[in-house]
Amino acid sequence: MLFTPACGFVDVRDVAIGLVKSLNTTGRHRIIFGGEWFTLEEALIFIAKSTKRNRNQLAFTREIDPKRFHLDNSKAAHILGLTPRPWRETIQETVAYLLKLEKSWIDQRITIGADGSIKPFGTIVDEGNPE
């Protein structure tokens, strides 16, 4: 069983935009690039609904101490004009990309080896004499 405390989240695209924008600011600032807080359970329920998959096919979770901390990212909004995108948008785009990638692997009959190498489907590698 997976334990899922709440976690903070910000899309890496928002961080990249914030870093580029920060290059053109004056003065010295410490800015928090913060987004929304959610639990793994919330993310899994969202993924299950948006992909029309059974929630129990994804993972089992049990909530513990669902405290949510508040990070004030108003400085990022004020100085950089940065408003982080909602976590659901990022999760949905990421899942769609991964499903598309999975389909392309299946269509191309590609398999991923335990070592992370990409091989044509059905390839047998001699462990004593790696390719």
Specify if 125 maps to a domain: no
Q: What angle do CA 8, 10, 14 make, to 5 degrees?
A: 165
Tens-place pLDDT, residues 54-107: 766 666 555 555 555 556 778 888 888 888 888 889 889 988 998 898 888 888
Q: Is residue 114 part of a domain?
A: no
CB distance 21 to 33 below 8 Å: no
- Contact predicate 53/92, CB 8 Å: no
Residue 57 lies in a domain: yes
Beta strand segments in 53-109, E? 61-62
Positive or negative, the CA dihedral 13, 14, 18, 21 is positive
Is residue 32's pLDDT more than 50?
yes
Q: Name the token pair of 96.
A: 């769609």
> 32: domain range?
2-85
- What pLDDT score was predicted for residue 93? 92
Is the residue at 45 inside a domain? yes
**Mean pLDDT (the chain, rounded):** 75
Question: Is residue 80 situated within a structural domain?
Answer: yes
**Structural contact between residues 7 and 40, judged by C-beta atoms closer than 8 angstroms:** yes
Query: Considering the domain boundaries, does residue 129 fall inside one?
Result: no
**65: β partners:** none
Is residue 52 assigned to a domain?
Answer: yes
In a domain? residue 67: yes
Structural domains counted in the chain: 1
pLDDT at 2 over 50: no
